[in-house]
Chain A
């Protein structure tokens, strides 16, 4: 069955520290996308990235980077030089099985990141 595990429930860092949020998934699909979303204290869900399982190159966007490793079924998210505005809950997500063409996403439990000044 499809599953997403974010084992880190809460992380607290001091501003300017680097922080990595872990995401481990289980899927029986051979091709799929993985997603990260951010939920700041204001409550909305903000799309961050969609990554194709064919492409294992690291993705970098400003201070954000993503490391996708198919061999370990992980899709980790690193924030470099964290800032207070990065404080949020971060979700990793995976579509349901290949045979289920419904667009359904399975979300991890979320990791709450607190960045202290």
Chain B
């Protein structure tokens, strides 16, 4: 059984398009995250939701909009795609948030290429 799943796995699209990436977790976790991994493998958090409430919103262009319909799902919608948005986007989940750090479990990643 897949714990954290993302769709699609690959996404190739033209500049200016709008696209969405979906994420689902079946671990019963309360907290979900979106990370961006650039071409140099640097991982940076973008957003986090805890029980459908946005708790982390890093400095991300407002073309990126997360949506959490329930605590098992966290989707990422990107408007007006730009070349610089090309990256791997990872979804992750954790049991909750704690001051010392909860283990985050990652999805397989979505490889986005903007042409």
Contacts and interface: CB of A to CB of B under 8 A. Distances in A.
Contacts of B94: 103
B108 A104 contact: no
Interface string A16-39: 000000000000010111110101
A17 B3 CA distance: 34
A61 interface: no
Contacts of B33: 103
B103 A35 contact: yes
B100 A33 contact: yes
Given A95-B101, A109-B42, A103 B31 contact: yes
A102 interface: yes
A64 interface: no
A31 B106 contact: no
A43 B106 CA distance: 11
B108 A101 contact: no
Interface residues of B, number: 31
B100 A103 contact: no
Nearest to B102: A103
Interface stretch (B43-51, B67-75, B77-85): B43-51
Contacts of B101: 32-35, 50, 94-95, 103, 105
Contacts of B55: 102-103
B103 A47 contact: yes
A45 B44 CA distance: 13
A39 B107 CA distance: 12
Interface in B1-54: 31, 33, 40-45, 48, 50
Given A103-B33, A103-B98, A109-B42, 19 more contacts: A37-B106, A45-B90, A45-B106, A45-B109, A46-B106, A47-B106, A52-B100, A94-B101, A101-B99, A102-B50, A102-B55, A103-B50, A103-B56, A103-B94, A103-B96, A104-B48, A105-B104, A110-B42, A112-B41
Interface of A: 29, 31-35, 37, 39, 43-47, 50, 52-53, 89, 91, 94-95, 98, 101-105, 107, 109-110, 112
5 contacts: A35-B103, A37-B106, A103-B101, A103-B102, A103-B104
